Structure 1
Amino acid sequence: MIYHLLEKQEWEKAIQNDMYWPSSLDNEGFIHCSTWEQIIRIGDSLFPKEAQLILLKINSQELESLVVYEDLTESGEMFPHIYGHLNLDAVKSIVEVTRNEAGKLQLINQIDAV
């Protein structure tokens, strides 16, 4: 499984379009994803504290697009990248993300996948 954080309104748009195609796909050629161990750290560094976030749990075996694990920043850490759109049937669960009193991400309220 791989994971992707996105803002709630982006997910709502994906549901309407029956496909997720973020701006990173146009700008960089792939969708940024994370492993379970990377989620909180990446989310805390990339998203503003006021953002309403959703975490997608994605079965990479069910993706129509290619997944590549790579270290594009030479940090020594491999990240999964989806090279193409995200078909929604590969999303196995959706988790609402909130922040604790210190402003750090926490994962709560697991919701069934679409």
Structure 2
Amino acid sequence: MQPSIPTDRTIYKILTPEEWAVLRRDEQSSGSDLDQTDGFIHFSTTAQLQGTLDRHYKDAGTLVLAEIPLSALQQRDLRWEPARDGSLFPHLYEALSLSVIARHWTLHPNADGGYALPNLSR
């Protein structure tokens, strides 16, 4: 059975401060080294976000969390693809434009190297 595409209206990109600076300077980005290696930009839904932070960013220092409304990506090459556990993650097969980012937050690690999410509701 195929997992269904999440009904989220927003997705999130986690960036290092350096990646955020490049995105702000160039107004677009081809993503992190991992994104470039994989050939797409990795995003997470609201439900996936804490797990992504815990698995891939523990002890990573200060991070930037960018919120992107899915409506801003309607004409873009965004695909929902299965992860190892079968859940669907959003992947963008083109550059990320600064113009699609609605909000962003700076995330600071807590004492154990993890991150608490900001209030993402509007």
Identify the TM-score tier after normalising by the shorter chain: 0.7 to 0.9
Relative to the length of structure 1, the TM-score reads 0.83
Larger % of strand: which? Answer: 1
Q: Which residue of 2 aligns with 1:107?
A: 117
Q: Which residue of 1 aligns with 2:24?
A: 15
Q: Which residue of 2 aligns with 1:37?
A: 47
Q: In the aligned structure 2, how far is the partner of 1:104 from the partner of 1:48?
A: 5
Relative to the length of structure 2, the TM-score reads 0.78
Aligned CA RMSD, in angstroms, stands at 2.0
The alignment partner of 1:107 has SS state of coil
CA contact (8 A) 1:25 1:83 kept: no
| Cα deviation 1:3-32 (Å, max 9, x = unaligned) | 111101110111111102123443111100
Deviation at 1:94, TM superposition (A): 0.2
CA contact (8 A) 1:98 1:107 kept: no
Query: Larger relative contact order (C-alpha < 8 A, sep ≥ 6)?
Result: 2
CA contact (8 A) 1:96 1:108 kept: no
Output the amino acid matched with 2:68: I
Q: How does 1:1-114 map to 2 (within 5 A)?
A: 1-22=10-31, 23-63=33-73, 65-73=76-84, 75-108=85-118
How many residue pairs match? The answer is 109
Deviation at 1:72, TM superposition (A): 4.0
Identity %: 27
Deviation at 1:48, TM superposition (A): 4.2
CA contact (8 A) 1:20 1:86 kept: yes
Q: In the superposition, relative to structure 1, how do residues 39 and 109 fare at CA in structure 2: closer, same or farther (>3 Å)?
A: closer
Q: In the superposition, relative to structure 1, how do residues 72 and 107 fare at CA in structure 2: closer, same or farther (>3 Å)?
A: closer
Q: In the superposition, relative to structure 1, how do residues 109 and 97 fare at CA in structure 2: closer, same or farther (>3 Å)?
A: farther
Q: In the aligned structure 2, how far is the partner of 1:98 from the partner of 1:76?
A: 30
Show structure 1 runs of 5+ residues with no match.
Answer: none
